[in-house]
Structure 1
Amino acid sequence: MIRRSVISTLFLFGAAGIASAQGVTVQSGDHAGFTRLVARIGEDREWQITRDGREIHIAFPPDSPAFDLSRVYDLISHDRLRDVRDLDGLALSLACDCTISITRYRNRYAVIDIADPEDEPPAPEPAVDLPLFTGRATLPQRPGPALPTPPVTPVLDTPQPAGFAMEDAGNLLAEQLARAAAAGLLDPAPGQPLSLGDPLPRQDPPTESSPPTEAPARPAAAPPPINAANAYDLNLGTTTDRLTISAASSCIPAPARAVSEWSGNIGFFNGVGRLRADAYDDRGRLDEARALELAELYLVHGFGAEAAFWLGEMQTPPAFQTAMADFVDYRTDGVFGTFADHELCPDDLLLWLFLSDSTAEPLVETTATILAQYYALPTILRDMLGPDLARAFVRAGQGGAALEVRAALIRGGRLSPQQMAFLDLDLPGTPTPPENRLTPANAGTARADAALSHRLMTQIHTLGAATPADLTAADALVLETDPGLIQGGLRHAAALGHALSGNIEGTLAHLSLRGPHDSEALGPVFADILSSLMALDRPAPLLLLLSSDEFGQFGQFPNAAFRRQVAEFLLDRGLPAIARDLILAGGSDHDRDRVLLSRAFDRLAEDQISPLSQTTPESTSGSAAAPVETPAEMAALLSESRELRAELEQLLSRTPPADPGS
């Protein structure tokens, strides 16, 4: 019993100690000029400070909590806070005449700062009584700035007055200057040593002028002997006066990526939105790689000021993009360098050096390189810089190259007639504006794309196909002018011509999305191509086009009625399985869709290619099989249709395309 009572007593004392240690923990820390105490008092408590000299009591009404002061002096010393106690609040004993301030942090913490007292200004130094000096002294000359001064004739020193101490006066003057400099009344002279005011030793003036003596010339060192080790060393025996130092070039570095790669495969509005959304990270810092891509996208589309803004946000913007932003807006001369140094510059700068230097005179080989770099530019930059390049060729006496640039601009067809008229005024050998207005529209190359589109469509509707030569010309013109996808345009006619010839890859290349408005015209152009193939009764290219992965396996149709029209065309041509898959891919439950599905299943049963007829062919001789109703049977039918379509494609690939001239 005694042992149990002792154990229980010890347990109660330990529990009491733990409970007392579980109060509000006071944390501390020493900082430069102040000591900080932090305690979590909650949102409902306030504080009241009572100070009596260096004894401070802080109460936290309405009810002061118990504080845990066991770790207060773990991180601080007793220099400012001599002692701290928990007496219905916090009782602080300061070790200095410090100031106390309390602030609230996050509405739950009380932050107590014990700051050092402010330093009192130092007492002014007592004035020093200096002896009054009324005489005149001749001080030695100090070295000053190297200025041309007339020669001064040396003057003999005058005798010093009696009782004058030169050394004491110099020391007193130096002391006064030091006090004035310390008080901020004087500033040291820039570019002069601190020893400028030191006394100089006395030097006797020269008695007579002596001519300057020249230093003896050093004998030239003999070159090292030539032996087998250095027989082929070209630098042997060379001197600095014989070395040829090349002049510094004024060119800027070439861009890391070619200008033709700046536009990428994304439209302007989508690219600007994506790049501006990713231009800054979560901390608001600029991603310079994204900013550079955004500036390049602006430059490709001719926005120099916007590109200059994003380049200015970068720490080290590249020199070429900065110069190009200036040139695009202001056509600044010489911003890329001088054309005379083009052999010392990177090859990619040749076009830009020629455009920005009005005195450039390129050779024939250089002219070909400039034209090649111009044709490699994106479409918008070609249209923007084409007139400037043509005029630059005229200034350089290269009229043929200027007319070639003009022909490329006309074939593009994106410049207005007014812009072309202004360019024709500056080019030699071009018609005047009145003669140009009288020229028939079909006499030149200004309507080449429209004329070629009309020619291809006429061949397709009359002969059933387009000639290979015209298709090749259409492909070349599309690559050069990069027209948009419009219904009845050049890309529409070329895609249909390739589809009729069995070249589905060529068709898909012309139907790919390139411009911002191509997606709007893709649906009508695709439907028109299918309608033309059905009108010409060409099921083979129609099947190849429908089954391509680019159109989502029967997914690209403008509406359900057109889908049913294509399905009925396939059903009439003896392709019920593909017609069935085409209707099922639409996901429609229209009455006409169910009618077409019933016809397709009936035709499949009649042709004995249904899944049931493959296992028991004799069972279909009496009556037709009923349409499938379960999902498993439907999946089996879809798998069978895909196998049949693969066999059909294999057979069509072996069949040569029809000759349009036959």
Structure 2
Amino acid sequence: MMRRLIWAGAFLIGLAGGAGAQQLSVRSGEHDGFSRLVIPYPRGTKWTIEDGDGGISLRASGGSFTYDIRDVFRLIPRNRILSVVAGTDNNTLFIKTGEKIRSKAYQLDGGQVVIDFADAEAAPPDDVQSAGRIGIPEHLDLLWKNHLPLEDADAIAQTGSPLGENPPDGSARVSAAERQLLESLSRAASQGLISVDPTRKIPKPATGSPLAEGDSPDDGSLPIPLRSETVYDRDLDQENAHPRLLINGQSCLPDDRFAVENWVTDAPPTDQLAERQNGLIGEFDRPDPAAVERLARLYIALGFGAEAKATLAAFDIGGATARPLVYMADVIDGIPTPPDEPISHMAACDGKVALWAFMGGGLPADAGQIDVTAIQSSYSALPPQIRDILGPVLVERFLKIGQPDAAEAIRNALRRTSSVENTPLAIAQAQLLLASGQPLAAEESLSAAPVRNDLNSAQSLVLSVEARLMRGQAIDRKTRDDIAAQMHQTGASELGQRLRRALILAEGSVGGFDNAFDILAGWPQEGLDDLRDQTLGDLIAQLGRVPDDLIFVRQMFTHRQVLQAAPLPAALRISLADRLSGLGFSAAAADILTATVRQTATGRLALARAAIAERDGAAALAHLDGLDGEAAAQLRAQAYLALGEHANAAALFRVLGDEQETARAAWRGASWDIVKDHGSDIERAVIEDATADNASDPIPTGPISRANALITRSQEERALLDRLLTAY
């Protein structure tokens, strides 16, 4: 049953954020010609992007953030974007891209950063800001772009006319009327009041040749093949007479196919089952399809999906009425539905089918592709036991597509029929609290639920661990043992893999990286590769944040081969390499950088830092050859210092405006004039004392006086040298 197969999803990426870090859910979408990531920063957040041959790194400032990237690849393929990994600090996100992929980033008024990744030969995607200014309303372009004879968005943007035609002078009112009409048609289409007949195509009218007044097509139909439904049609139940069509040409299935609330009564389940199991075999020992379907519906209404499917299969019942039952049984049991299943593409319908389509289909890119109101009303009509099964998963799915209000409405519907100690209700509440950045409150909600040996409790455990990791807490031994026990019970299922991920990161939270890598090595062969790669990247990023240098170095060398083969972004590899070179392991730091990373500007800077740590100034200058910028100049100056070319180093530091390093390089090169101009007080005092002309000072006459003068002079010079050594 789905009750046993509900999972919480992947854990928070990046465990360095303390209690003050704000969690941001990275969202994705696949479009024609480009892939999109959206990072919902708060308004006013500053951000920068650094490009590399292997991808980009996004860094935010003005706050502390952690990133939830567990669902990035549920909506997009790994062709343009290969991986998304949080950095070793709270504010960095590393995005690895495929070859010949270019990116475009911009920020919306609300603070959200949008990054589009397009193929090099493709046209650049339009900004989100311009989506509402291209002339065609967004909903209309989405719903009707394959049916209306509209010109491309660029042409419409250039002409400024919604229909791509230049209005004559003085026709601003006509243009405004056209736009209002298109917006009205868009709203009607999104609400199911108007649909397009996909079986009929219409030619694009010749420019400047509209139908004359009174003219009509030869067949007497409208120029645009529309079907409409009025409020009177709805009130008179005319849906069957005029079935609603979706943009993919499908007709929405009627409500009676999904009216679960009508399939069960208040009688004890055993009595209902006994009644429905009678009369399954009719005349001539042939099964009665209607009776079998009634029994299958009862199983579904009670939450027994596998039993419903087994009943239909045992009596070889199929057809149009049985297909929705099989689909609903799979949804209840958490079994993925085939991507070509027609029902899974009916989430935009305004009937009960929308709920089941949304639960069993892939997550839409945005809420505009589903009927949220229909889903909520259908859920509220379900029997309590089905609400318990579907509620937490429905809350999770709404949160993933950016619909927290809808998720809260589902939680409230679940609360009306559940006690405060109901585990599904606690799970739904915790999901909402985690999504809003309240891990402590989420833990408190989960602690009120009863602990049982079932998969609801496993889901609750997963969320509890996620909440604790969000707060930067280490996971205790008992909790890790509980996760391990649940993981072994669930095996290679998706929930089992998510429990494995939880255990890996829990071990990492206490520095148990040997155990973590051993558990990772046991990942199921047929498991979720994306989840495994994400877990490995999170574990390595977790290792990079370990404050104990001994643990860091030992683990880096112990798992060297795994780290080198891992699909890590360039920026994460560079951060690990910098820490290794800073600890004196420059050769190992260079090995961490792959050949592709070494060819990037940031990779060459990392190689230069490693060479400088080895006092190999010549190698550092070779890595820096052709690189510009302040970082490259700083490293080039340090390379000159390693080579003993102090004058060149001082000149570079002087250009960079670093007076302290300028004076130190000049001191080492005996450039006393530069020291006098840029040195510290003690450095200038030493130079002035060393170059002072003391010939005019009175010479003591007696030997004791001369000796005392020498002692005083020596003490003064020693005091200056002591101050100089302390400064260095």
Structure with more relative contact order (C-alpha pairs < 8 Å, separation 6 or more): 2
TM over 0.5: no
Question: Scaled by the length of structure 2, what TM-score is found?
Answer: 0.27
Question: Scaled by the length of structure 1, what TM-score is found?
Answer: 0.30
- Flag the structure with larger Rg: 1
Structure number having the greater helix percentage: 2
